[in-house]
Amino acid sequence: MTQRQIDVRNVPQGFARLQFCRALVSRVAAACLGAFALAWPASAADLFAFPVACEIGKTCFVQNYVDHDAGPGVRDYMCGTLTYDGHDGTDIRLPTIAAQRQGVDVLAAADGEVLRRRDDMPDVPLRAAPPGSLEGRDCGNGVVVRHADGWETQYCHMAQRSVRVKPGEQVKAGQPLGRVGISGKADFPHLHLTVRRHGKVVDPFAVAPREGACGSGTSLWAPHLRAALAYRQRTLLNAGFAAGPVTMEAIESGEAGAAPPTADARALVAFVRAIGLKGGDVQRLVVTAPDGQKLVDHTAEPLDRDKAQFMLFAGTKRPAAGFAPGAYTAAYTVVQGGTAVLEESFAVTVTAGAR
């Protein structure tokens, strides 16, 4: 989730200095997105592999796309708002820090030669980084790979001491480069992938889009990836049950939902965290007991604005006799303008407690 421009002039070795150039990137990158014809890849066999070893839509999610708006506004390749001003890449997010700590590989998107790397920065969320410690290092730990015909990929926010390749090394598509981390200017564990051709930012979802034509342009992703990478305005990132109130920090760490409630738990709480929600969205959580009885039916107030991420929980206290063992289900619905735009369900099996 960073904005950057890499300057390779007069840099004899090491990782190029990464400059925080918000205004310049937002205008130059957007202006250049459609400025050239696609020359490479030449065939489907040359198209990009997915750069994270995960299951798209289940164990990883696209949080942000390239910003196509040349001004202070934001616009992703589908004319949506899943980006932010000056964002020059694609953010591929893991659902929790716990998932990141298990180790998720970053993979080369295509064959090429490693140009630069950095591997010594700690995995610390941006909000916890000492002031000034990230100046010129917003990419965090990362790798730059040069491909054929002026193409280049940059992989950012990798885990400390995880980078496995060195400058000058030849890599193949799908080869591990390191692991997903939370280094540099990152608020959550993810890979930021920037694609360039001749130094100009390219959106891998939409090369050379037609002006004003939402969803136009050529995809760089291999054909077998495109269904899984289909654009989704809203996505459920986390869902589960807990034995009490839930915080965003507990969801991010993976603590929430790690231990399912038992029959003698003090409460039964369903929780969700969604990304890409829009102003005016109305969220509803309904929890149903094993016998079909509706235990919880909570509708939240409409969102006042677009939300990069948002959490919601609802539940009930333990009855005197405890919760009946069995399967409890939760239904999560997001409604916009009277129409359901996101519907998901999940369940937990409550077992007898120690009472």
Indicate which CATH number applies to the domain containing 261.
2.60.40.2550
Question: How would you classify the pairing of strands 294-299 and 112-118?
Answer: unpaired
294-311 confidence digits (pLDDT tens): 999 999 999 999 999 999
Residue 35: pLDDT band (50, 70, 90) is: very low
**Considering the chain, what percentage of its residues have pLDDT values greater than 90?**
81
Residue 167: pLDDT band (50, 70, 90) is: very high
Residue 31: pLDDT band (50, 70, 90) is: very low
* 25 part of a folded domain: yes
Q: What is the mean pLDDT of the chain?
A: 88
276-292 confidence digits (pLDDT tens): 999 999 999 999 999 99
DSSP 113-177: EEEEEE-------GGGSPTTTTTT-TT-EEEEEE-GGGEEEEEEEEPTT-----TT-EE-TT-EE
Same structural domain, 246 and 191: no
Indicate which CATH number applies to the domain containing 116.
2.70.70.10
Same structural domain, 298 and 210: no
Same structural domain, 198 and 83: yes
* 355 part of a folded domain: no
Same structural domain, 145 and 29: yes
Nearest CA-CA partner of 26 in 75, 62, 64? 75
Residue 239: pLDDT band (50, 70, 90) is: very high
Last residue of a domain, one of 177, 200, 225: 225
Note the helical H segments in 192-287.
248-253
Same structural domain, 294 and 324: yes
CA distance 253 to 256: 8
Query: 299 vs 133, 274, 296, CA distance in Å?
Result: 42, 15, 10
Same structural domain, 35 and 164: yes
Last residue of a domain, one of 179, 201, 225: 225
Give the per-residue pLDDT at 136.
84
Note the helical H segments in the chain.
22-32, 97-101, 248-253
Same structural domain, 269 and 129: no
Same structural domain, 318 and 253: yes
Cis ω for the linkage preceding 41 (within 30 of 0): yes
Last residue of a domain, one of 190, 207, 225: 225
* 15 part of a folded domain: yes
Task: Tally the domains of the chain.
Answer: 2
Helices and strands (DSSP H and E) totals, the chain: 3, 19
- Please give the residue range of the domain that contains residue 151: 5-225
- Edge-first strand order for the sheet with 326-336 is 294-299, 282-288, 326-336, 339-350
Given a cut of 90, is residue 141 above it in pLDDT? Answer: yes
Residue 126: pLDDT band (50, 70, 90) is: confident
170-227 confidence digits (pLDDT tens): 999 999 999 999 999 999 999 999 999 999 999 999 999 998 899 999 999 999 999 9
71-93 confidence digits (pLDDT tens): 999 999 999 999 999 999 999 99
92-106 confidence digits (pLDDT tens): 999 999 999 999 999
- State the sign of the Cα–Cα–Cα–Cα dihedral 59, 144, 209, 72: positive
Give the per-residue pLDDT at 132.
76
